[in-house]
């Protein structure tokens, strides 16, 4: 029988025990490794005894289900998003049908696996993913960062940022690559892998070298040469979810339980939008629109100048994010926003929705 209090006590006890193992072994990233192991172990306990049908039940105008893949396990990844879509490729760090965890490649149009894809060739397993419009990036647990051409899977460059390398946050912004190690925050040129800066404040989430403007969390912008404050906001960005930064808008998850989705004007810090319901996924972008999963099991879209309307799709009546296990919900959008890829960790499903205007 399902007992919530017993479930919570069991989850906490099991997680504490599991987190002790990598600490004792001197692992590079004990907390994240424990999170991955705990996710696998706890998913087989009574915490998941009550499951829900997550097939898309309500689709908005112009939305249709393109494909669905079952038995996909993508682990939560602190400070980065382990799911990306570039061109006609979908990439994710995880397992398929219980096989060994790896960097997997699917065709975006039909979800079929592709044998031609990135081959890390790095010491230790891949740890984090990030993506730009052109390239896929990955880190390893021993300090390497590698860039790939997504169509061919060929490695473009590899650099080593030091050991150990947890990459607590790993994301792209302004065509720059942000990677955090144990000792510093590195800003890399995505074309060459050259380090452009390693002395920015620890919680820098965006940087403009041309204007020497950095944005940190809590959300504030300042000149890195003079220290002059340009604007300041009370919004506190969530460290677990990477920000999404465009030329004009800064998207952050923050607030209570780090779930509210905020959109701030990048030049002034003015609040443009705040979601009424908590976001439970990362924020994905295609063109001027962003996409995310909300706690009401809806997939939403918003763009500057628009009002939030009904969800594009609804994945059942039960709320998302209300369970003991540290499952993940992730979203990726293909170029142009023709389709959105959705991962539902509660049911180990990866889905693609076609969107037409």
Q: How far apart are CA 150 and CA 173, in angstroms?
A: 19
In this model, does residue 351 exceed pLDDT 90?
yes
Per-residue pLDDT, averaged over 237-262, amounts to 78
Per-residue pLDDT, averaged over 83-89, amounts to 91
Confidence of residue 69 (pLDDT cuts 50, 70, 90): very high
The secondary structure of 113-178 as a DSSP string is B-SS------SS-EEEEEE-SS-EEEEETTSEEEEE-TTT--EEEEEE--SS---S-EEEETTEEE
Per-residue pLDDT, averaged over 47-65, amounts to 69
Which of these ranges, 4-13, 120-129, 253-262, has the smallest mean pLDDT?
4-13
Helix (H) or strand (E) holding 86: strand 83-86
pLDDT at site 71: 92
Per-residue pLDDT, averaged over 267-291, amounts to 89
Cis status of the peptide bond prior to 218, with omega within 30 of 0: yes
Burial class (CB within 10 angstroms; exposed 0-12, middle 13-18, buried 19+) of 29: buried
Residue predicted with more confidence, 266 or 237: 266
Instruction: Name residue, tokens 């494909």.
Output: 67
Q: How confident is the model over 10-28, as pLDDT tens digits? A: 444 444 433 333 333 334 4
Q: What are the structure tokens assigned to 18, written together?
A: 């599991």
In this model, does residue 49 exceed pLDDT 80?
no
Q: Phi and psi (nearest 5°) for 5?
A: -65, -45
Q: How confident is the model over 212-245, as pLDDT tens digits? A: 899 987 789 999 999 999 999 888 766 567 888 8
In this model, does residue 264 exceed pLDDT 80?
yes
Confidence of residue 183 (pLDDT cuts 50, 70, 90): confident
Average model confidence (pLDDT) for the chain?
A: 78
For the chain, domain boundaries = 1-50, 51-355
**Residues 157 and 193 sit within 8 Å (Cβ to Cβ):** yes
The count of C-alpha atoms lying within 13 angstroms of the C-alpha of 68, restricted to the half-sphere facing its C-beta, is 12
Confidence of residue 168 (pLDDT cuts 50, 70, 90): low
Helix (H) or strand (E) holding 82: none
pLDDT at site 119: 65
**Nearest residue to 186 via CA among 173, 197, 171:** 197
Q: How far apart are CA 49 and CA 177, in angstroms?
A: 40
The count of C-alpha atoms lying within 13 angstroms of the C-alpha of 96, restricted to the half-sphere facing its C-beta, is 15
Per-residue pLDDT, averaged over 31-42, amounts to 43
pLDDT at site 263: 92
Residue predicted with more confidence, 49 or 257: 257
CATH code linked to domain 51-355: 2.130.10.10
């Amino acid at each position: 029988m399902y007992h919530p209090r017993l479930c919570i006590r069991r989850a906490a006890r099991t997680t504490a025990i599991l987190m002790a193992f990598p600490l004792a072994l001197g692992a590079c990233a004990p907390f994240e490794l424990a999170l991955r192991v705990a996710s696998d172990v706890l998913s087989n306990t009574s915490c998941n005894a009550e499951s829900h049908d997550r097939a898309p039940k309500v689709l908005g105008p112009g939305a249709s289900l393109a494909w669905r893949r079952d038995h996909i396990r993508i682990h939560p990844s602190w400070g980065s998003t382990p799911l990306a879509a570039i061109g006609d490729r979908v990439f994710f760090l995880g397992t398929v049908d219980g096989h060994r965890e790896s960097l997997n490649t699917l065709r975006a149009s039909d979800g079929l696996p592709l044998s031609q894809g990135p081959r890390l060739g790095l010491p230790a397993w891949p740890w984090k993913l990030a993506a730009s419009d052109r390239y896929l990036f990955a880190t390893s647990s021993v300090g390497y960062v590698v860039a790939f051409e997504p169509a061919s899977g060929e490695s473009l460059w590899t650099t080593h940022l030091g050991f150990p390398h947890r990459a607590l946050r790993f994301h792209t912004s302004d065509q720059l690559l942000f990677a955090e190690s144990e000792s510093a925050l590195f800003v890399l040129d995505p074309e060459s892998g050259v380090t452009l800066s390693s002395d920015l404040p620890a919680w820098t989430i965006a940087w403009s070298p041309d204007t020497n403007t950095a944005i940190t969390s809590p959300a504030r912008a300042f000149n890195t040469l003079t220290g002059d404050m340009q604007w300041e906001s009370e919004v506190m960005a969530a460290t677990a979810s990477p920000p999404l930064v465009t030329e004009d808008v800064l998207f952050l998850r923050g607030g209570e339980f780090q779930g509210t989705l905020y959109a701030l004007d990048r030049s002034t810090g003015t609040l443009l939008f705040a979601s009424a319901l908590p976001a439970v996924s990362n924020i994905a972008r295609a063109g001027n629109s962003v996409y995310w999963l909300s706690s009401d099991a809806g997939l939403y879209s918003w763009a500057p100048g628009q009002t939030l309307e009904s969800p594009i799709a609804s994945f059942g009546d039960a709320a998302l994010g209300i369970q003991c296990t540290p499952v993940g919900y992730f979203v990726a959008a293909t170029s142009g926003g023709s389709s959105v890829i959705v991962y539902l960790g509660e049911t180990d499903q990866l889905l693609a929705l076609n969107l037409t205007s």
